[in-house]
């Protein structure tokens, strides 16, 4: 019995060892499987700090699910792999129900490790089978672990690639966003105001402004050019210019430039270079004829040049007319008509009208409505040569030109020193011309009038006899009675100078007014018209004595005349 028990124990020992070895391998395989599963779980589970945003997380694919649970796909069953699971159909409920404790078979304690004989499996065979099964199971587990490792590696590589692509895309997106933010920051200043748009607007505004300025300049230049062309055309063809004829006297040997400057000075032309150009283009340089020519500012440059090249000396008859010192304008008009030069009334009309653009006309600022003959005093005494049947305005211009040449710049300056106008000087000179019997007395006569004018409170009236005679002449010539005008010319009735000249004085009388005798104490004079003597007095008593002397001279002269008869 003991031997048999020993034999059973000896035979059971290898079986126990095999079972322990099998259990060890199963535990190892289970640990490997568990380790692989945990590794897969750890691989599949992303670290919390590296987790992507919820929007960026990729949905788990079927492949990932397969890789996480390979054992489920293969229906891995350890008992089936070890051959410990019966292939029989599951027992029905009655058979699978637990038996009562009383009905459970009893085995001897020593025989607990003995496999029933009816199974047909020996202990040695069972150990070999288990060993083989364990070996196969280990191989399968190893293979399965390798596949699982490959799947996990592939899944990890795929996820890494996806993560890398996503990270790259995210990085690119971040870079683009940063670039956009940087670009956006450039569009605003520190106060949040847009800069780029404003610059664009400024650029557009500047371009628009430049365009407008350019267009304005072009229009302005075009306008200026058009105005210049129009002005040149009007000048060359005499458009809108004075139609009055004027006498132009060309000197012997005058060049084109000399003639052009002369025409410019006499307000006939405004463009000297243009006149010279027209003359050269018409081959008229050197063809001008010296002498008098009648021109009008309304003539074209070509017409003027043609007229200046005409010789009129032998074509018309001329007549000389003399105007003495002290003659009136009415007397001058009569002389012109008597010599068949022009009509007297037409001459007076044009002469009093003036407007011939001579220098002295610019100094005629006095516009006294009480003047009888407006230009009395400006018909300068001289000998003139006129064409017979000349136009009256041409005659008037010729006399104007002569007067203008007799008044110098020094005369105008002296007038300013004396605080006198040209009209006042000529008016006073006409009185000196009428009062002085000789040229030698003119300066003293002028001094008397100056002294009385400067002492107007003591001598309010000049009391000149020639002014009274001229007032009577006006009264006779007026078609409509004008006592105010007549009285204004009579210095016995009116204070100061008369409204205008009473005759046409010569150069000596004008100089006497400008440069009078320096004696400022003489206030009276008496003249003996018969003898030509003039007596000057410093006070009224002397004047009355001189007056008696002159009257005695007149009486003696009259008695002598009666005795002779």
Query: Which pLDDT tens digit goes with each residue over 201-251?
Result: 556 677 788 888 888 989 999 988 998 898 888 888 888 887 778 888 899
Token readout for 254 is 């005058």
Max mean pLDDT among 86-95, 202-211, 335-344 falls in 335-344
Taking alpha carbons only, the member of 358, 348, 352, 354 closest to residue 404 is: 358
Domain assignment present for residue 203? The answer is yes
Mean pLDDT calculated for residue range 159-175 = 71
**pLDDT band, very low/low/confident/very high, at 375 (cuts 50, 70, 90):** very high
- Cα→Cα distances 352→212, 372, 501, Å: 55, 10, 13
Residue 131, pLDDT score: 76
Q: How many domains does the chain have?
A: 2
Q: Which of 181, 213, 247 is the last residue of a domain?
A: 181
Q: At a CB cut-off of 8 Å and minimum separation 6, what does 499 contact?
A: 368, 370, 371, 372, 485, 488, 489
Same domain, 154 and 97: yes
Domain containing 227: what range? 188-237
> What number of H helices and E strands is found in the chain?
20, 6
> Do residues 43 and 177 share a domain?
yes
Cα–Cα dist 281/453, whole Å: 60
pLDDT at residue 125, as a whole number:
64
Which two tokens mark 208?
């628009």
Give the domain-ending residue among 158, 181, 204: 181
Beta carbons within 10 angstroms of residue 83's beta carbon:
14
What's residue 208's pLDDT?
Answer: 80
Q: What backbone phi and psi angles, to 5 degrees, belong to 417?
A: -65, -40
Among 86, 91, 82, CA closest to 119 = 86
Q: Are residues 177 and 227 in the same domain?
A: no
Q: Which helix (H) or strand (E) holds 384?
A: strand 383-387
In a domain, 71, yes or no: yes
- The whole-angstrom separation of Cα 437 and Cα 426 is 18
| pTM, to two decimals | 0.57
Same domain, 161 and 26: yes
- Shared domain check, 31 and 121: yes
Kindly state whether residue 193 falls inside one of the protein's structural domains: yes
Domain contains 160: yes
What are 349-364's pLDDT values in tens digits?
A: 999 998 888 899 999 9
Residues 65 and 213 in one domain: no
Helices 465-477 and 422-435 cross at an angle (nearest 10°) of 110
Is residue 10 domain-shared with residue 91, that is, in the same domain?
Answer: yes
Q: CA geometry: angle at 361 spanning 368 and 421, to 5°?
A: 55
Question: Residue 380: inside a domain, yes or no?
Answer: no
Spatial separation of the C-alpha atoms in residues 497 and 370, rounded to whole Å: 12
Residue 447 pLDDT level (bands cut at 50, 70, 90): very high
Domain co-membership, 61 together with 129: yes
173 and 197 together in one domain: no
Structure confidence at residue 404 (pLDDT): 94
Model confidence at 11: pLDDT above 80: no
Q: Which of 36-40, 187-191, 285-289, 522-526 has the lowest mean pLDDT?
A: 36-40
Q: What DSSP line would sit under 159-171, residue for residue?
A: HHHHHHHHHHHHH
Structure tokens at 262: 């002369």
Domain-located, residue 80? yes
Within this chain, do residues 56 and 199 fall inside the same structural domain, yes or no? Answer: no
Tell me if 331 is assigned to some domain: no
Residue 58 lies in a domain: yes
Nearest CA to 285 out of 262, 263, 260 is that of 260
What are the pLDDT digits (tens) for 263-306? 998 888 999 999 999 999 999 999 999 988 888 888 999 999 99
pLDDT at res. 532: 80
E strand residue ranges, 475-530: 524-528
Domain's final residue, options 237, 272, 306:
237
pLDDT more than 70, % of the chain: 72
Task: Please tell me the number of Cα atoms within 13 Å of 179 on its side-chain side.
Answer: 6
Query: Same structural domain for residues 78 and 139?
Result: yes
174 confidence band (pLDDT: 50, 70, 90): low
Q: Compute the distance between CA of residue 76 and CA of residue 85 in angstroms, rounded to an integer.
A: 13
Which helix (H) or strand (E) element contains residue 226?
Answer: helix 196-237
Instruction: Check pLDDT > 50 for residue 193.
Output: yes
- 45 and 127 housed in the same domain: yes
């Amino acid at each position: 019995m003991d031997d048999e028990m020993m034999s059973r124990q000896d035979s059971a020992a290898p079986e126990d060892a095999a079972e322990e070895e099998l259990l060890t391998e199963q535990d190892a395989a289970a640990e490997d499987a568990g380790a692989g599963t945990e590794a897969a779980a750890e691989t599949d589970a992303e670290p919390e700090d590296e987790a992507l945003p919820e929007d960026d997380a990729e949905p788990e694919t079927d492949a990932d699910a397969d890789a996480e649970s390979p054992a489920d796909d293969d229906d891995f069953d350890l008992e089936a792999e070890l051959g410990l699971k019966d292939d029989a159909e599951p027992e029905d409920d009655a058979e699978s129900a637990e038996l009562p404790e009383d009905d459970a078979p009893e085995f001897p304690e020593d025989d607990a490790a003995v496999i029933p004989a009816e199974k047909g499996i020996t202990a040695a065979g069972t150990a070999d089978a288990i060993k083989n099964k364990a070996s196969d199971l280990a191989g399968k587990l190893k293979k399965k672990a390798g596949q699982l490792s490959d799947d996990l590696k592939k899944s990890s590589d795929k996820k890494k690639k996806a993560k890398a692509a996503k990270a790259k895309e995210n990085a690119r997106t971040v870079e683009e966003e940063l670039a956009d933010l940087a670009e956006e920051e450039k569009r605003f200043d520190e106060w949040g105001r847009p800069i780029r748009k404003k610059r664009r607007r400024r650029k557009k505004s500047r371009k628009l402004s430049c365009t407008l300025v350019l267009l304005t300049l072009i229009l302005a230049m075009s306008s200026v050019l058009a105005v210049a062309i129009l002005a040149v055309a009007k000048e060359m063809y005499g458009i809108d210019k004075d139609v009055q004829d004027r006498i132009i006297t060309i000197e012997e040997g005058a060049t084109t430039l000399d003639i052009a400057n002369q025409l410019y000075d006499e307000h006939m032309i405004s463009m000297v270079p243009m006149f010279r150009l027209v003359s050269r283009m018409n081959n008229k340089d050197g063809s001008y004829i010296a002498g008098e020519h009648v021109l009008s500012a309304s003539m074209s440059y070509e017409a003027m040049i043609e007229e200046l090249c005409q010789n009129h000396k032998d074509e018309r008859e001329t007549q000389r007319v003399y105007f003495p010192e002290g003659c009136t304008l009415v007397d001058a008009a009569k002389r012109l008509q008597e010599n068949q030069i022009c009509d007297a009334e037409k001459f007076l009309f044009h002469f009093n009208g003036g407007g011939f653009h001579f220098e002295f006309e610019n100094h005629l600022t006095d516009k006294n409505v009480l003047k009888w003959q407006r230009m009395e005093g400006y018909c300068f005494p001289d000998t003139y040569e006129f064409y017979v049947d000349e136009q009256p305005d041409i005659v008037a211009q010729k006399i104007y030109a002569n007067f203008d040449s007799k008044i110098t710049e020094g005369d105008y300056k002296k007038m300013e020193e004396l605080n006198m106008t040209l009209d006042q000087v000529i008016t006073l000179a006409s009185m000196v011309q009428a009062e002085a019997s000789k040229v030698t007395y003119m300066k003293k006569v002028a001094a008397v009038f100056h002294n009385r004018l400067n002492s107007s409170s003591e001598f309010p009236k000049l009391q000149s006899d020639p002014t009274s005679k001229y007032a009577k002449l006006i009264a006779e010539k007026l078609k409509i009675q004008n006592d105010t005008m007549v009285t204004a010319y009579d210095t016995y009735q009116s204070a100061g100078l008369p409204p205008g000249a009473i005759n046409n004085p010569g150069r000596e009388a004008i100089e006497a007014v400008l440069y009078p005798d320096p004696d400022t104490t003489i206030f009276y004079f008496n003249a003996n018209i018969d003898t030509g003597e003039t007596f000057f007095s410093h006070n009224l008593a002397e004047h009355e004595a001189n007056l008696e002397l002159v009257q005695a001279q007149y009486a003696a002269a009259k008695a002598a005349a009666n005795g002779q008869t």
